Amino acid sequence: MADCYLGVDVGSVSTNLVIMNDDLSIREKLYLKTCGHPIETLKSGLKTLAEKLPDNIKIKAAGTTGSGRQLAGLFIGADVIKNEITAHAVAASCTVPDVRTILEIGGQDSKIIFLKNGMVHDFAMNTVCAAGTGSFLDRQASRLEIPIEEFGGYALRSKNPVRIAGRCAVFAESDMIHKQQTGHCNEDIIAGLCEALVRNYLNNLAKGKEICEPIVFQGGVAANVGIASAFEKILGKKIIIPRYYDVMGAYGAAILAKEEIGHSGCKTSFSGFDSMDDDFTVNSTECKGCANMCEIINISINGELRASWGDRCGKWSAVYSFK
**Is 102 in the same domain as 224?**
yes
**Is 144 in the same domain as 204?**
yes
Which of 4, 78, 26 is closest to 260 using CA atoms? 78
Q: What is the pLDDT of residue 127?
A: 58
Domain count, the chain: 3
The span from the CA of 200 to the CA of 211, in Å, is 15
**Is 81 in the same domain as 102?**
no
Exposed / middle / buried, residue 107 (Cβ in 10 Å: 0-12, 13-18, 19+): buried
Q: What is the pLDDT of residue 236?
A: 96
**Is 114 in the same domain as 220?**
yes
**Is 64 in the same domain as 179?**
no
Rounded to 5, what percent of the chain is helix, strand, coil?
A: 40, 25, 35
Q: What is the DSSP string of 57-105?
A: EEEEEEEEESTTHHHHHHHHT-SEE--HHHHHHHHHHHHSTT--EEEEE
**Is 129 in the same domain as 85?**
no
**Is 118 in the same domain as 166?**
yes
Q: What is the pLDDT of residue 213?
A: 96
Q: What is the pLDDT of residue 323?
A: 44
Domain region containing 177: 97-240
The span from the CA of 100 to the CA of 172, in Å, is 31
**Is 155 in the same domain as 236?**
yes
Range with lowest mean pLDDT among 61-75, 105-119, 132-146, 214-228: 132-146
Query: 262-309, pLDDT tens digit by residue?
Result: 887 789 999 888 777 778 888 888 988 888 889 888 888 888 888 887
pTM, entire model:
0.88
Burial 133-148 (b: 16+ CB within 10 A, else e): bbbbbbebbeebeeeb
Check pLDDT > 80 for residue 318.
Answer: no
Q: What is the pLDDT of residue 130?
A: 57
Which of 235, 190, 209, 7 is closest to 113 using CA atoms? 209
Confidence of residue 253 (pLDDT cuts 50, 70, 90): very high
Query: 187-217, pLDDT tens digit by residue?
Result: 999 999 889 889 888 988 888 889 999 999 9
**Is 75 in the same domain as 144?**
no
**Is 114 in the same domain as 147?**
yes
